[in-house]
Structure 1
Amino acid sequence: MAARILITSDYLHPGDAVDQLLRERGLEPVYSPSQGSRTLDERRSMFDGISGAILASEPVTADMLTAASSLQVIARSGVGYDSIDIQAATAQGIRVCNVPGTNHHSVAELTIGLIIMAARRLPEVTTAVRQGHWPREAGHELRGSTLGIIGYGPSGRATASLGVALGMTVKVSTTHPDRDSTAVQFTDLDTVIRDADYLSLHTRAGQSTGPLIDGPRLQAMKPTAVLINTARGSLVDEEALAKALSDGTIAGAALDVLESEPLPRDSPLRGLDNVLITSHLAGQTSEARTRAGLAAAHAVIDVLENREPAHPVDR
């Protein structure tokens, strides 16, 4: 009987390249697209009879893993894995992998796109034109402004390169600076936050600390600054951000990731004119999806065929 591979990433479908690859290896793909919260019973039975899983960013808890008697490997079809209880997976002997380096260009391009939208006030302008108005307010050039980047993994580096190409001064806070780079200034976190006209997050979520961008750090930003988050929703204190946006502590924000997704009806960010929210799609280009899906499938195949996966996050 063929080993069954659960696929919850909603852009992977029967007949696509991932499906074909798995079937060529004698595996049986099983599709259960992630479309919001699952019921308790659905979570408990999610891995029944499943040997491997290619997952979206939905939560995988210790209770779910304890019941997963046949599960050998989980591969995230993305970079983030903080939604998975790694400790519980390791205790169960379940390997956990991700697929870094598959979507960083997509993330960087959307990051710059969000910055341009904020700088030129494109959401307000396009809405006004649809309503029959013809606004002519001045925006801002990016050239000569300061792009602050927190985190210098693949998406942070790609964003920095685009910022440099646009004539921005790029300042980066990271524990892994590129000492050979002359185009980017590496400095401490407080300096990046203080100096940035556009502050972009490209770092992992902390394991034990609170949000990276909290009330005091928002207060430390320029009143004309814009915060961009395409990394992890947990990096930002959304209540503090909503207050900072409401009282003019900072000028705006562009968020592709949120603490809870989709955006809750009672979120303090709703109704604010100076925040732009997109639906966790920074890495969701056709090209990146193909790369990520195939990389996740190869990780599952490697573990099931007793090879070390390329990008384990559990060891």
Structure 2
Amino acid sequence: MAVRILITTDYLRPGDAVDHLLREHGLDPVYAPAQGPRSVMERNSLFEGISGAILASEPVTSDMLAGADCLQVIARSGVGYDSIDVKAASALGIRVCNAPGTNHHSVAELTIGLIITAARRLLEVTTAVREGRWPRDAGRELRGSTLGIIGYGPSGRATANLGIALGMTVLVSTSHPDPDNTAVRFTDLDTVIGSADYLSLHTRAGHSTGQLIDAPRLQAMKPTAVLINTSRGSLVDEEALAKAVCNGSIAGAALDVLDNEPLPADSPLHRLENVYITSHLAGQTVQARTRAGLAAAHAVIDVLENREPAHPVDR
């Protein structure tokens, strides 16, 4: 009987490198791309007859795992895994892995791109030119400004390095500072939030984190500051953010991740011209996708062949 591997990551397709790798190991890829919410019946039967799964960021609940009759491993084709009920998976003996170190350069590059977009108001300018206008408003240089970074994992470090290269002063709040990096100033969270001209989030969500950027912390930011989130949508109180931008507590925001994706039609963020929203694209480059897909495939193969995977998140 074929060992079936479920793949829901929408950019992984039959005939690609991941498909070939799995088949070389005698596995049978089954494709069910994540294209929006699934029905209850679809969710609860998703893992039936499946031995391993390579998943996008869609939720995996205990109810879904209850129908996993032979599932041994779930591998995220990305870094975040807070959408997976790891505790429920572990209780059933299902290994859970992710793919760190595969997209941090892509995330950092988009982060800087969003900062430049906000600093030079590129969206407004290109829209105006398309409409026949020719705006000449002054933007802001990044050199000499302060880049505040919360979290110093791979994407935080890569973003810090790009900020330094652009001549920015880089402040970082982290529980794991790097004493050898003298180009970065490691300091406390409140100092980073209050000092940043551009505040970029690169930390994981968790029970202790919750909404890291809430109304009081938005009030503590500079009125000229811009918030950038390429990490987790749950880190930001979006209602408080909309109010802070409207009343001028901060200058704007650039969000690649949202608490609910796609952005609900009734979200107040839709109405704000100085809030730039992209569709969870930070890690979505050709190179990062290739690395992430192969890393997830290797995790599945390792578990099914009784080897310890490289990046387990369940232990």
Please report the TM-score for the alignment, with normalisation by the length of structure 1: 0.99
Q: How does 1:112-131 map to 2 (within 5 A)?
A: 112-131=112-131
**Unaligned 5+ runs, structure 1:** none
Report SS of the residue matched to 1:269. Answer: helix
Say yes or no: does 1:306 pair with 2:295.
no
Say yes or no: does 1:111 pair with 2:115.
no
Shift of 1:210: 2.8
Whole-angstrom CA distance in 2 between matches of 1:63 and 1:268 = 33
1:118 partner amino acid: A
Q: How many residue pairs align between the two structures?
A: 315
Q: How does 1:230-241 map to 2 (within 5 A)?
A: 230-241=230-241
Report SS of the residue matched to 1:29. Answer: strand
Whole-angstrom CA distance in 2 between matches of 1:209 and 1:117 = 28
Whole-angstrom CA distance in 1 between matches of 2:7 and 2:162 = 34
**Preserved contact between residue 209 and residue 235 of structure 2 (Cα < 8 Å):** no
Shift of 1:207: 2.1
- Corresponding residue number in structure 2 for 1:37: 37
Query: What value does the CA root-mean-square deviation take over the aligned residues?
Result: 0.6
- Corresponding residue number in structure 2 for 1:135: 135
Deviation per CA, 1:33-68, whole angstroms, max 9, x where unpaired? 111101100001100100000000000001001111
Whole-angstrom CA distance in 2 between matches of 1:45 and 1:299 = 23
Please report the TM-score for the alignment, with normalisation by the length of structure 2: 0.99
2:86 partner amino acid: I
Q: How does 1:1-315 map to 2 (within 5 A)?
A: 1-315=1-315
Whole-angstrom CA distance in 2 between matches of 1:285 and 1:36 = 21
Deviation per CA, 1:260-290, whole angstroms, max 9, x where unpaired? 0011111121111110000001000000000
1:239 partner amino acid: E
Report SS of the residue matched to 2:148. Answer: strand
Deviation per CA, 1:140-194, whole angstroms, max 9, x where unpaired? 0000000000000000000000000000000000000001111000000000000
Shift of 1:209: 4.7
**Unaligned 5+ runs, structure 2:** none
Report SS of the residue matched to 2:270. Answer: coil
1:61 partner amino acid: T
Same amino acid, percent of matched pairs: 82
Whole-angstrom CA distance in 1 between matches of 2:103 and 2:57 = 15
Shift of 1:206: 1.9
Deviation per CA, 1:216-243, whole angstroms, max 9, x where unpaired? 0000000000000000000000000010
**Preserved contact between residue 205 and residue 235 of structure 2 (Cα < 8 Å):** yes
Whole-angstrom CA distance in 2 between matches of 1:300 and 1:268 = 41
